[in-house]
Chains A and B, each alone.
Chain A
Amino acid sequence: MNREDFPMLKSNIVYFDNGATTLKPQCVIDVMNKYYLEHTSNIHRGDYDASIITNKLYDNTRNIIGSFINADPDCCVFTSGSTMSLNMVVFGYMKKHLKAGDEVLLNKSEHASNILPWIKLSEEIGIIIKYVPLNSDYSLTIDNIKKCVTEKTKVISLAHISNVVGDVRDIETIGEFCSQNNIIFNVDGAQSVPHIMVDFKESNIDFLSFSAHKMCGPTGVGVLVGKRNLLENMDPILYGGGMNNYFEEDNSYELKSIPTRLEAGTPPIAGVIGMGEAIKYLDKIGMDKIHQYEKQLKQYFLDKVKDISNLIIYNKDSDSGIVSFNIDGVFAQDLAIYLNHYNIYVRAGNHCTKMLKDDIGINNTVRASFYFYNNYEDVDRLVEALKNSRDIFKIIL
């Protein structure tokens, strides 16, 4: 769908690294260029025409986000991306509100950004991290989560869609369970908000993080959405300009209200404007349509590779457009380099889920992650290359 909107697709590439970052449509590039070429200015306090245009576009991005994920616009905080958002949750909120012995439930297929901050917090204040066991298909279920909950469980933190297995977690049910049991529900939406409809309020989410660059927007910008009372009780990670009302010689100071309080310094203005445009663009296509189409592409791929006997696929059943695989006896990176020979772009590695090896039994996989602008011919090219992979060393050595 919509391939003509993406300048990168004019070259002969097959771009299957959408889990890492996505291509940018012309409309996103245009609004950002326009900011740089026609109305460069800082936000707030500008009394000239260019700054008025910039402010309007910048502020309106919160409204766009709010209606996209069903959240209050002033509860959408601009950050540098999911990593920063998750770190703000852990060090800005949890550090202040959790105490030694409190339990946080994670699982081993989480991205580093949803594990390492917690490990650091555990080191700092003594919280206990518990890893919810994955099912035999490496998915995470509400039943397994419930088995790990004790009266000390204060937080359940998980990716809505995991970035290697690609299983879609039932956040509505988990959110309801959390709200009934007074547990904070922290959702990493980096792999879901770009691909599937997410309803912040309906799913009882307390914190939601996502990045613009994984959803057709620019790099360096993302969002933290939080429930109002939680954001109001969060300490800023950064202090400086734009976020304070006053500060005095006697050390007194007053911070602004949310979300500005949590956005010290000049933000990535072009990035925020680009993110707003990207979200409008996705919304116009329709998130349900995008999700259905990606699942169809994945199913088409699975049907086509059935007969490739040396291809190992780790996540056939997951309900998203992510496929993780290896060719038997070939190192994942060698396979990725081989595919690059055919201009097929995939990612090899542990995909920042360094603990998943404990469950899946291997360290590295090749990941092809589909997006709406991929088509069936793209999949055919990947399948053809995989079929011919007995020639791999002739090509890469």
Chain B
Amino acid sequence: MDDNLRREIILENYKEPYNRGLIDDENYSKINSRSDSCIDNLDFEMMINNDIISDIRFDGEACAISTSAASILIKELVGKKVDDALQILNNYKNMINEKSYDKELLGELIVYDEIYKQPNRKNCALLPSNAIDKLIGRLKK
């Protein structure tokens, strides 16, 4: 991907993130996610209806990578069936962790395909996906 386009997508999602702002509704399940290795600190809320992720929201303070990844992940996951969402999440994590992954499943998340070049930022990219993963796990139980 062209570097300028990549930067543009990340910045757009950093400066005006999708679904930023929590709505304190008891139908949502909530989780706080912060990293041991950096200062990212995000809260997530999620609602699943009839096995479909009907909404995810987030808020907090985090770096450009973490915030934009939260925004793009939410765009990619809302409206998906839970199992499909898990597949997208796993595929995304595989990409960040330098394992084999399916480009077709990524959508805009492909902008993070070179994050492995900055190992200290992998955790930033994984913070939102790990949080959403945990929320799904909790709701599936």
Given contacts A394-B7, A397-B7, A397-B11, contact A334 B39 (CB under 8 A): no
- Interface size on A, as a range, is 10 to 19
- Report whether A331 and B7 are in contact in the complex, using a CB–CB cutoff of 8 Å: no
Residues of A near B65 (CB, < 8 A) are 397
Cβ proximity bits B107-124 to A, threshold 8 Å, 1 near / 0 not: 000000000000011000
Which of B56-64, B70-78, B92-100, B130-138 forms contacts with chain A? B56-64
Nearest chain A CB to B79 CB, angstrom units: 28
- Report whether A334 and B10 are in contact in the complex, using a CB–CB cutoff of 8 Å: no
Number of B interface residues in the complex (CB < 8 A): 16
* Among A348, A349, A393, A397, residue most surrounded by chain B Cβ atoms (within 10 Å): A397
A148: interface (CB < 8 Å): no
**In the complex, which of the residues A363, A394, A396, A397 contacts B61, with contact meaning CB atoms closer than 8 Å?**
A363
Given contacts A350-B39, A397-B6, contact A331 B11 (CB under 8 A): no
A332: interface (CB < 8 Å): yes
A333: interface (CB < 8 Å): yes
Nearest CB in chain A to that of B39: its residue: A349
- Report whether A397 and B64 are in contact in the complex, using a CB–CB cutoff of 8 Å: yes
Nearest CB in chain B to that of A329: its residue: B15
A211: interface (CB < 8 Å): no
Given contacts A350-B39, A364-B39, A397-B6, contact A334 B11 (CB under 8 A): no
Residues of B near A337 (CB, < 8 A) are 63, 120-121
- Report whether B6 and A333 are in contact in the complex, using a CB–CB cutoff of 8 Å: no
Nearest CB in chain B to that of A394: its residue: B7
B139: interface (CB < 8 Å): no
Given contacts A363-B61, A396-B64, A397-B64, contact A333 B10 (CB under 8 A): no
- Report whether A348 and B7 are in contact in the complex, using a CB–CB cutoff of 8 Å: no
Residues of B near A332 (CB, < 8 A) are 39
Given contacts A348-B39, A350-B39, A364-B39, contact A331 B6 (CB under 8 A): no
Nearest chain A CB to B40 CB, angstrom units: 7
* Among B7, B40, B64, residue most surrounded by chain A Cβ atoms (within 10 Å): B64
Nearest CB in chain B to that of A347: its residue: B39
- Report whether B11 and A333 are in contact in the complex, using a CB–CB cutoff of 8 Å: no
Nearest chain B CB to A162 CB, angstrom units: 19
Given contacts A331-B62, A331-B63, A331-B64, contact A393 B39 (CB under 8 A): no
Which residues in window 33-70 of B have CB below 8 A to A? 38-41, 61-65, 67
Residues of B near A394 (CB, < 8 A) are 7
A332→B63 CA distance, assembly (Å): 8
Nearest chain A CB to B57 CB, angstrom units: 20
- Report whether A333 and B40 are in contact in the complex, using a CB–CB cutoff of 8 Å: yes
- Report whether B7 and A333 are in contact in the complex, using a CB–CB cutoff of 8 Å: no
A331→B64 CA distance, assembly (Å): 7
A396→B121 CA distance, assembly (Å): 10
Given contacts A333-B63, A334-B64, A364-B61, contact A397 B10 (CB under 8 A): yes
Nearest chain A CB to B43 CB, angstrom units: 13
Nearest chain A CB to B16 CB, angstrom units: 13
**In the complex, which of the residues B11, B41, B67 contacts A393, with contact meaning CB atoms closer than 8 Å?**
B11
Residues of B near A349 (CB, < 8 A) are 38-39
Which residues in window 1-40 of B have CB below 8 A to A? 6-7, 10-11, 38-40
A397→B66 CA distance, assembly (Å): 12
Residues of B near A331 (CB, < 8 A) are 61-64, 67
Given contacts A333-B38, A333-B39, A333-B40, contact A393 B61 (CB under 8 A): no
Nearest CB in chain B to that of A397: its residue: B7
Residues of A near B67 (CB, < 8 A) are 331
Residues of B near A397 (CB, < 8 A) are 6-7, 10-11, 64-65
Cβ proximity bits A354-397 to B, threshold 8 Å, 1 near / 0 not: 00000000011000000000000000000000000000011011
A363→B42 CA distance, assembly (Å): 13
Nearest CB in chain B to that of A392: its residue: B64
Nearest CB in chain A to that of B124: its residue: A333
Residues of A near B11 (CB, < 8 A) are 393, 397
Nearest chain B CB to A373 CB, angstrom units: 25
- Supply 4 further A-B pairs (C-beta < 8 A) apart from A393-B11, A393-B64: A331-B62, A334-B63, A397-B6, A397-B64
Query: What are 24 of the A-B contact pairs (CB < 8 Å)?
Result: A331-B61, A331-B64, A332-B39, A333-B39, A333-B40, A333-B63, A334-B63, A334-B64, A337-B63, A337-B120, A349-B39, A350-B39, A363-B39, A363-B61, A364-B39, A364-B61, A393-B7, A393-B10, A393-B11, A393-B64, A396-B64, A397-B6, A397-B64, A397-B65
